[in-house]
Amino acid sequence: MKLKTTVIALSALFAGAACAATGGMPEVLDVVYVKAPFNLQNMVMKDQKMLEKAFAPYGTEVKWHDINSGAQQAQAMAAGAIDISAVMNTASLLMANGAGNPVVIINGVSHPADTFAIVSAKGKPLTVKELKGKKIAGPRGTVLHQLMVAALKSECLSAKDVEFVSMGIPAALSAVVSGNADAALLAASAVIKAEEAGCKVVTTAKDLVNVNLVVTASQPFARQFPNAVKLTVKTQRAALDWINKNWDKAVALGAKEHGISLEDAKKLAQWSNYYNTVTTTDVKGLALDQDFLVENGMMAKKVNVKNLVFPTAFTK
């Protein structure tokens, strides 16, 4: 991380020489690899080394990092360890910016409301209202956290009415399956695995939260290396084109990566609603989500949501 900070500082100091040497591209591109909830674009890009091939002519080395939590991705961006996240939920994006960590949307990914859920432990089927006083495990500062708060609010409850234990999705899945948690905040294949273990879905995000997954970049990186952002977006969109033309192969790859059946993979892919170009409807959704997050104490302060969308996200 220190080496990268030094490189960025030196490139800023000798901007002209750096651009001449690299074509305005970074020496290293640090990208978060996220296959959840069912991010086929990212799985295809990594499997086929599409980013590596795209950046090879510029001498840019692509480094992949596994960070599933949107909040942790944003923290890594703030530390200068990550340049781009292949998928971040907009709740994490908004909370990061509200805390003074500038992260921008550079492309769309999916609108997978059906793949995010609150799941109750085996033998403990619960309604949302019955979550009161229960232990719920899941990732803090994410759209799943937002789902929990929204679901509780729909029954005139608040986060104070439950015992929320922050942990990643794999740990939350283990906790609910073992009975160490009464419920868990899960997504995609984790929901399927929980159901196979006898757990029950309490509610999904549908009609409760506007789930929007996007490709994001550190704002300082996007401003310094706009050509790298454009090439990343172009590659992401090429991956979705390949998926649409090779649907069965793409879904089979997703099934293998998630360790689930082909039938379950098809279900998740159909629920994902993949897309590329961000629309005015998406921006309005950001504003509504921000209102919710601020009102419920999950976001420090409001920001101008229009400034969170980099031009590449609007361009078809």
> What pLDDT digit, counting tens, does each position of 147-162 carry?
999 999 999 999 999 9
Pairing of strands 135-138, 183-187: parallel
pTM of the model: 0.81
If asked whether residues 167 and 302 sit together in one domain, one would say no
> What pLDDT digit, counting tens, does each position of 167-222 carry?
999 999 999 999 999 999 999 889 999 999 999 999 999 999 888 999 999 999 99
What pLDDT, on the 0 to 100 scale, is given for residue 12? 40
Residue 85 confidence (pLDDT) above 80 = yes
Beta-strand ranges (E) seen in 162-240 are 163-166, 183-187, 200-204, 213-218
> What pLDDT digit, counting tens, does each position of 236-281 carry?
999 999 999 999 999 999 999 999 999 999 999 998 999 999 999 9
277 token code pair: 């170009």
If asked whether residues 86 and 119 sit together in one domain, one would say no
If asked whether residues 102 and 124 sit together in one domain, one would say no
Span 43-48, average pLDDT: 96
Confidence grade of residue 298 (pLDDT, cut at 50, 70, 90): confident
Domain boundary among 165, 180, 204: 204
Interatomic CA distance for residues 176 and 85, integer angstroms: 28
CATH code assigned at 160:
3.40.190.10
If asked whether residues 305 and 258 sit together in one domain, one would say yes
If asked whether residues 188 and 235 sit together in one domain, one would say no
Domain boundary among 185, 204, 223: 204
Residue 160 neighbours by CB under 8 Å, 6+ apart: none
What pLDDT, on the 0 to 100 scale, is given for residue 5? 42
Strand partners, 186: 117
Averaged confidence pLDDT in the chain = 90
Domain boundary among 204, 222, 237: 204
If asked whether residues 123 and 261 sit together in one domain, one would say no
If asked whether residues 69 and 217 sit together in one domain, one would say yes
Range of the domain at 199: 114-204
| 132, 148 Cβ separation under 8 angstroms | no
